[in-house]
Structure 1
Amino acid sequence: MNLPQNVAPKPSSLASPVVELRQYTLKPGQRDTLIDIFDSRLIEGQEAAGMTIIGQFRDLDRPDMFVWMRGFDGMAARKDALAAFYGGPVWAAHRDAANATMIDSDDVLLLKPAWPGAGFDLAGAQRPSLAGDEKPIRNRPLTGIVVIEIHHLQPGTEADFTTRFEIETACLMTADARLLAAFVTEPAENNFPRLPVRADENVFISVMGFASTEA
């Protein structure tokens, strides 16, 4: 997966305690169409509603997948932000065009940082304004690769897996490889049922950044 195409500025002290990992199956050849709609029409409206658009990714092995992550300041804030955006004018104006690119948008995991400080550190991150006739961000080349690994855990094994992961990962970190974030399942009930999430999942997710595919 390519490095995030968009990140919104947010101090690390306010790193999102609730995160969604969203994987959309698209109609063949529609990924760049959706990215253009997302970049130019949908990002700023979500931010205005109180969400953090952490990043969006191109899956190098699945050309018809659109993967992205967004964060919230808590479950109550998530409910309010989603209600504001999906009940507001921005989504009403562009939902038909966005939905026309999709086969399925319900592959969603609700997550929280795996340990204190394990969320994304977006301090100093900048996203250019999307106003006017500015070219979509997808046309600006970015270097590096992000690898998102999803580990499905048996109930009760979360603490042991997390401890082992921290120890083993520390030995692998180099100048060309770094841990960007780690998450586990957020057990709270989905409080915005209009947007489904995968219930009864128990996962550990790591997000690693590499300088290149060879790193």
Structure 2
Amino acid sequence: MSGARSQVLELRQYTLHDDARDVLIDLFEREFVESQEATGTEVIGQFRDVDAADRFVWLRGFPDMRSREAALRAFYGGPVWAAHRDAARVTMVDTDDVLLLRPVDEDSGFPAPSGPRPPVGRAEPPSSLVVATLYRRDRPFDKEFAEFFRRRVRPVLTETGAAPLAYLQTEHAENTYPALPVRTGENFFVWFARFAGRDDLAGHLGRLERSPAWRDDVLPKLSAVLTGEPQRLTLAPTARSLLR
């Protein structure tokens, strides 16, 4: 799971029927991980949204847009999806909340996983959390913002306990697999951090709120260029998620 490989990523947020999330996760982790990876897809992480019991969030990546098209055609036209698509679809209300993203630069993609993926049948998910913070603005994020994030935002996040694992921005290329819609006409900058658990996350948020550098310098500058408040997704990795 390296930034050098995944130059195109999807952040997929699914709304599910009541009490269907664990059903989909069990099916996904049994049938849809290795079968997607066999097509050249990186299945980077699968998560329960901590703040929404009906939300399943996952990340996958591809080397480029051409590889993405080929991999999606191979998987969704293949035997595993054909065998299990009805069971998956019956759990779903909406699957169109999808951001197409790319690393901001060569160093901002996801790092290699710390270990192998747990095998099928592992019962217990990790206690860690992954937080995705989504910035939005009314025009594309440019090199000036990327430099501001690297030099001003990232150091304060790191000092307060939320060193970014990766930071990505909208990929505006045409969606070459229109059978799976993605959000268009929007501009996002998304950064990810890992926490040992809820207490670790709460500690970071408290330190950030008390940080003079954040309060007096970084936050006013962010507020001046972003559209609306940042969105924070607090994500609990599933048992087989590589990103954990």
TM range (shorter): 0.7 to 0.9
Mapping 1:12-161, distance limit 5 Å: 12=2, 14-130=4-120, 135=121, 137=122, 139-161=123-145
| Structure with more helix by fraction | 2
The number of equivalent residue pairs is 199
Q: Which amino acid aligns with 1:118?
A: S
Equivalent of 1:213 in 198, 204, 214: 198
Give 1:175 deviation, angstroms.
Answer: 9.1
Deviations 1:45-84 (A, max 9, x none): 1000110000011111001000000000100000000000
C-alpha distance 125-153 of structure 1, shift in aligned 2 (>3 A) = farther
- Partner secondary structure for residue 95 of structure 1: helix
- Taking the aligned partners of 1:19 and 1:74, their CA distance within structure 2 comes to 9
- Taking the aligned partners of 1:148 and 1:74, their CA distance within structure 2 comes to 22
The answer to whether 1:177 aligns with 2:162 is yes
Query: Please, which runs of 5 or more residues in structure 1 have no aligned partner?
Result: 1-9
Do the aligned residues in 2 keep the contact of 1:151 with 1:204 (CA within 8 Å)?
yes
Do the aligned residues in 1 keep the contact of 2:17 with 2:54 (CA within 8 Å)?
yes
C-alpha distance 87-156 of structure 1, shift in aligned 2 (>3 A) = closer
TM-score (norm 1): 0.87
CA RMSD of aligned residues (A): 1.7
C-alpha distance 157-85 of structure 1, shift in aligned 2 (>3 A) = closer
Aligned to 1:199: 184
- Taking the aligned partners of 2:117 and 2:196, their CA distance within structure 1 comes to 20
Query: Please, which runs of 5 or more residues in structure 2 have no aligned partner?
Result: 201-244
- Partner secondary structure for residue 90 of structure 1: helix
> What is the aligned-residue identity percentage?
46
- Taking the aligned partners of 2:195 and 2:48, their CA distance within structure 1 comes to 15
Q: Which amino acid aligns with 1:62?
A: A
- Taking the aligned partners of 1:160 and 1:101, their CA distance within structure 2 comes to 42
Deviations 1:116-161 (A, max 9, x none): 211111255311343xxxx2x4x22312211111111221543332
- Taking the aligned partners of 1:128 and 1:69, their CA distance within structure 2 comes to 17
- Partner secondary structure for residue 68 of structure 2: helix
Aligned to 2:171: 186
- Partner secondary structure for residue 112 of structure 2: coil
Aligned structure 1 segments of 4 or more residues deviating by more than 6 angstroms = none
- Taking the aligned partners of 2:14 and 2:158, their CA distance within structure 1 comes to 30
TM-score (norm 2): 0.77
Do the aligned residues in 1 keep the contact of 2:13 with 2:97 (CA within 8 Å)?
yes
